[in-house]
């Protein structure tokens, strides 16, 4: 066994499970952990070795984190570093810059590397090794983590700056996407009110200066179709949008337009619940353009 190709994947949900599969296919010796027995079973069906104990992964040369929150990252990293041998920890979680800075310092004190590398590309990108990543860390940490980043992104990652900077830019990316989902929905709602087919309006706008991935792909594929099956939850997007505003305000910035959009996501969260697909924001800002329609009483249950 080549110990330099051993990688632990912590968090085997939609994204983590797909990344574990990609690494396995690329020839890495993968062992996965998730507190959910169901997630472990699904990963095992795909040929991934799993463990029910995080402690079993201490000292594994490489680790990929795909976790729900910064707090869980903070609780996980010390366990991985408890045994010597860690080369690099790649945290793909949409986390907080302060946490990443602290974890990078802790890793460095153990002669290991930690990079914050939140990803974009969804489960399809995770399953095919075509994610993009926003990487924060020192040059030395990036060099240590690069073999894993290459496997997950095919080289499509940007070194943003020092520890925590990847988190900042990923949060800004997500709040911009959140604002665009609101604005495109409102625009298509106006088109619909004028008797214009929202699909025709979206296609036309997508070929002009107002176009975006939201108008070209998200609305046609997941909203206008009524499928709302992107695989990314409304709860996570609402969290990311709110966190982006918090990060901005921590340094004295007041992004008013983005904050207003983030507020609309909190309203949608209250109406639809965290498990709803994130594209269901359209049901609250432009219910006429999606077959799913406006939220009904009990949708958030």
In order, the DSSP letters of 172-198 are: HHHHHHHHHHHHHHHHHHHHHHTT--H
Residue 146 CA, distance from chain mean position: 19
First to last CA, the chain: 48
The string of DSSP letters for 224-281 reads: TTS----S-BHHHHHHHHHHHHHHHHHTT---HHHHHHHHHHHHHHHHH-TTSBGGGG
Distance of CA 187 to the CA centre of its chain: 26
Which residue, 267, 178, 283, is CA-closest to 223?
A: 283
* Whether this model's pTM surpasses 0.85: yes
Catalytic residue among 101, 110, 170, 192: 170
Burial tier of 201 (Cβ tally within 10 Å: 0-12, 13-18, 19+): buried
Give yes or no: 170 in active site: yes
Instruction: Go through the domains of the chain in sequence order and give each one's CATH number.
Output: 3-161 (3.40.50.720), 167-289 (1.10.1040.10)
Paired tokens of 94: 């949409």
The distance of Cα 212 from the centroid of its chain, to the nearest Å, equals 19
CA 223 to CA 289: how far, in whole Å? 8
Tens-digit pLDDT profile for the chain (301 aa)? 345 799 999 999 989 999 999 999 999 999 999 999 999 999 999 999 999 999 999 999 999 999 999 999 999 999 999 999 999 999 999 999 999 999 999 999 999 999 999 999 888 999 999 999 999 999 999 999 999 999 999 999 999 999 999 999 999 999 999 999 999 999 999 999 999 999 999 999 999 999 999 999 999 999 999 999 998 899 999 999 999 999 999 999 999 999 999 999 999 999 999 999 999 999 999 999 999 999 987 787 6
């Amino acid at each position: 066994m080549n110990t330099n190709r051993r990688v632990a994947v912590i968090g085997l949900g939609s994204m983590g499970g797909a990344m574990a599969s990609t690494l396995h296919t690329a020839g890495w010796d993968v062992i996965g952990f998730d507190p959910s027995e169901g997630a472990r079973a699904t990963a095992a069906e795909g040929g991934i070795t799993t463990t029910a104990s995080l402690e079993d992964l201490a000292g594994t040369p490489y680790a990929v984190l795909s976790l729900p929150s910064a707090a869980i990252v903070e609780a996980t990293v010390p366990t991985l570093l408890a045994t010597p041998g860690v080369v690099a920890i790649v945290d793909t979680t949409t986390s907080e810059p302060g946490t990443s800075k602290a974890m990078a310092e802790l890793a460095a004190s153990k002669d290991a590397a930690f990079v914050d590398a939140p990803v974009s590309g969804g489960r399809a990108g995770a399953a095919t090794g075509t994610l993009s990543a926003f990487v924060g860390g020192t040059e030395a940490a990036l060099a240590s983590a690069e073999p894993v980043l290459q496997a997950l992104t095919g080289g499509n990652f940007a070194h943003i700056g020092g520890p925590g900077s990847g988190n900042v830019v990923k949060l800004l990316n997500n709040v911009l996407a959140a604002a665009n989902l609101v604005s495109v929905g409102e625009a298509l709602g106006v088109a619909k009110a004028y008797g214009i087919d929202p699909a025709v309006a979206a296609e036309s706008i997508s070929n002009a200066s107002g176009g975006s991935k939201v108008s070209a792909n998200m609305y046609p594929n997941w909203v206008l179709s009524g499928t709302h099956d992107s695989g990314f939850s409304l709860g996570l997007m609402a969290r990311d949008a709110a966190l982006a505003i918090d990060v901005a305000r921590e340094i004295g910035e007041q992004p008013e337009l983005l904050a207003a959009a983030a507020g609309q996501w909190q309203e949608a969260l209250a109406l639809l619940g965290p498990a709803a697909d994130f594209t269901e924001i359209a049901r609250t800002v432009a219910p006429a353009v999606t077959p799913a329609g406006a939220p009904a009483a009990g949708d958030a249950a």
